[in-house]
Amino acid sequence: MKKSLLCAAVALACSPAFAADVQLFGFFDQGVAFLSENLASTMGGPVGGKNTVELANANEKVAMQGRKNQVSLGTGNVSTWGIKLTEQLNDDVSVGIHLENGYLPDSGEFYMDNVLFERESSIAINSKTYGQIKFGRMPAMLTGSGTTGIFNSRVNPFGAGWGNMTGGWKFVGTLATARHNNMINYKSPTFNGVTFHAQTSFGDDYTHKTTGETGEEGSSKVNHYSALGVTVQGDKYFLAAGVDYLKMGSVQGAVTDDTIKAIIGGHYDFGSFKGYATVQYMDNIEYIGGYSTKEYAPRIKDQGNTKGFDAWAVSLGADTKVWGGTAKFSVGYAQAENQNLDDNKDLVRMNVGVGYIYPLSKRTSIYGIGGYFWEDADYNEDKIYASEVIVGLMHRF
């Protein structure tokens, strides 16, 4: 949507002197969700589990919450709206602004309370010669989301996942913190299909909820996120590899040791279908999974900070054209070890997703998706299983 439309929508001044290109963009997704869950008492959707899970002793196990069935308005994806602005300074250099906010279409609420443009709020300097550097709040590189992620739907037909458990690679692995404030992101020019990526965050001002001790942005008391990655794009294939590192602050750090995560993934177009795969390694991860399946590592009471999970995960997927639409399939498997416990510490989980998307136009589609999730953890009283079906409509503008 060009500047004339945006001016009419938000009463921005339009004149020949207004040299920037401005776009209003967004994504709307709304459907009906059928959810059946048998989860541990510390888990649950849509926001995830409790971040402090304590056991009285080494023999205690996490209780179950019992089976729950629910029909409600739901979405396969987070709805967003935003503004992009680009101004060309010369033949080589331009400046860009990206403001994007998530919202809940059934209520109109912000996706994140009291945070406007929580998906991304950044300014970029773009150079054809030297690449792009961005400053602000933006997605972590290994999430795959937004303008600075390098994975998502390029490594799995469901991206980072639809709904609470359908497909995706985050349900058997983790996105950890999906976005960071005070971030610097660099993307190199592309050489023969190869692009290099780097990120670092100075962290946030932080106040400990229990002790009241504070840490300032940029200090050793708050967490610092960094990541390196590379992408390779060919005519029929895409490959991405990345590693990130969360340096735990002396006040803010929730995990005793620093967190490391590595992912490699991609896709290949075989003509009749497109195949996808990811492999993940996670060390000292505070939690595994996402939404309903997000699980924090239980620890013994008064143990102090968590040691988190040591885990690995794989996912495979495919999509193909069927009857004018696209059919999707994904399966993921993970093994993890809860490093807080000496015994009863092993976890195995699996996720399966199927879906079908039919375009009504270039911007509007209807879809139906279904997912099944299963987990067996030694520290839980029983096996966890859940299933979900969502039918809905989505529109991009």
pLDDT of residue 2: 40
The pLDDT tens digits for 134-147 are 999 999 999 877 89
Per-residue pLDDT, 21? 93
183 pLDDT higher than 90: yes
pLDDT value for 19: 59
The residue among 302 and 6 whose pLDDT is bigger is 302
| Contact (Cβ atoms closer than 8 angstroms) between residue 208 and residue 252 | yes
Structure confidence at residue 99 as a pLDDT band (50, 70, 90):
very high
| 299-323 mean pLDDT | 94
Whether 371 and 352 have beta carbons less than 8 Å apart is answered as yes
Q: What tokens appear for 34 in the block?
A: 């059928």
Q: What is the pLDDT of residue 58?
A: 85
At 365 the pLDDT is: 97
Quick one: pLDDT band at residue 212, thresholds 50, 70, 90? Answer: confident
Instruction: Say how far apart CA 102 and CA 283 lie, in whole Å.
Output: 30
Q: Which of 31-35, 205-209, 260-264, 281-285 has the lowest mean pLDDT?
A: 205-209
Residues in the chain, how many?
A: 397
Task: Return the top range by mean pLDDT from 103-107, 150-154, 359-363.
Answer: 359-363
Take residue 265 and report the two structure tokens written for it. Answer: 């993934």
Domains of the chain and CATH, by start: 22-396 (2.40.160.10)
Q: How far apart are CA 245 and CA 251, in angstroms?
A: 18
The token duo for 94 is 């331009």
Residue 342: partners with Cβ closer than 8 Å, 6 or more residues away = 58
d(CA 124, CA 330): 35
Q: Helix or strand or coil: residue 10?
A: helix
State the pLDDT at residue 217.
Answer: 92
pLDDT reading at 202 higher than 80: yes
pLDDT higher than threshold 60 for residue 6:
no
Q: What is the mean pLDDT of residues 172-178?
A: 85
Question: Among the listed ranges 181-190, 208-217, 321-330, which one has the minimum average pLDDT value?
Answer: 208-217
Residue with tokens 């629910």: 70
Angle at 9 between CA 6 and CA 10, to 5 degrees: 85
Higher pLDDT, 276 or 212: 276
